[in-house]
Amino acid sequence: MSVLLGQIINELGGSLEGGSAEIEISRIAPLETAGPGELAFLNNPRYQSQLAASRAACVIVAPAMRDAALARGACIVTPDPYVYFARVTQLWKREHAAGKPHGVHPSAVVDPEATVDPTAFIGPLCVVERGARIGANTVLKARVNVGERCVIGERCIIHPGVVIGADGFGFAPSKGEWVKIEQLGAVRIGNDVEIGANTCIDRGALEDTVIEDSVKLDNLIQIAHNVHIGHHTAMAGCTAVAGSTKIGAHCIIAGAASIIGHLTIADNVHISTNTVVMRSIPRAGHYTGVFPFDDNANWEKNAATLRQLYKLRERVKALEQTIKNDG
């Protein structure tokens, strides 16, 4: 199956230059491997050399790359090629989908006291427990478990193996034993949220764990009880967030980051991969903390020294300048 370039332009806008609206596109492909009949995109100027050599039928480019793209053939010029590419993939899926799924798969188990919108889809082997609510046009793919009284909003995509509303990790120590703290809250998930495969979101101990609108969570993420994640925050795979931490809106948490409990992270914070966040972050910005492991006592001494390294550097520079001037 194919889509005409003119159809893409009519749906998504952009300026088609150097080619015909009647060109048929049979596939979306990477720039370096795209061939005749295929659509590619260039987002980073560093890959301009691939543009000149590309055999793609058409390439999506920014205005700054227009002339270079025209030198090789047809192009769609748009302010943000990466976002345009994303919207092309959505258009492609709509055009080639077998039909929008809805209803409850025969192998799924939905409690009679749960509420599932008629436009939602509950996939194979899913479990939706008592009092849970699933919003309009939300898709639960295979083996998703939605716990008692948990709420998922509209237009969400929940990938296979996700567990929403398992008990949070709560135990009180008593005379060498552990006394379970019953987790009496639930999980509330907003609209347009996407949750990757095998991610776990624990129910709250007393209040609910909250995932606001348009949050995007990757695979294999752990969200502990009573965490609150602000709208449009994105979190990459293998990240773990401990209990009662509040993460702001429009944050980006890179893969395998760890955030300890009871912290507050401001809006518009970017945390680098493998960073361990051990204190609250009150201001927007990009934060990184990758440090080799060691015996804990040595690690603490080195970490304390490392925090003073810049001041020490400036003192050494000042001392060198003084010696130079005295000489």
Residues identified as active-site: 225
Structure tokens at 158: 């929940």
Q: Residue 299: which H helix or E strand, with range? A: helix 296-307
42-64: b or e for each residue (b if 16 or more CB lie within 10 Å)?
bbeeeeeebbeebebbbbbbbee
71-82: b or e for each residue (b if 16 or more CB lie within 10 Å)?
eebbbbbbeebe
How many whole angstroms from its chain centre is CA 97?
24
118: left (phi over 0), alpha (psi -120 to 50) or beta: alpha
85-123: b or e for each residue (b if 16 or more CB lie within 10 Å)?
bebbeebbeeeeeeeeeeebbeebebeeebebeebbbbb
C-alpha–C-alpha distance, residues 12 and 189, integer Å:
30
Q: What's the distance, Cα to Cα, between the start and end of the chain in Å?
A: 79
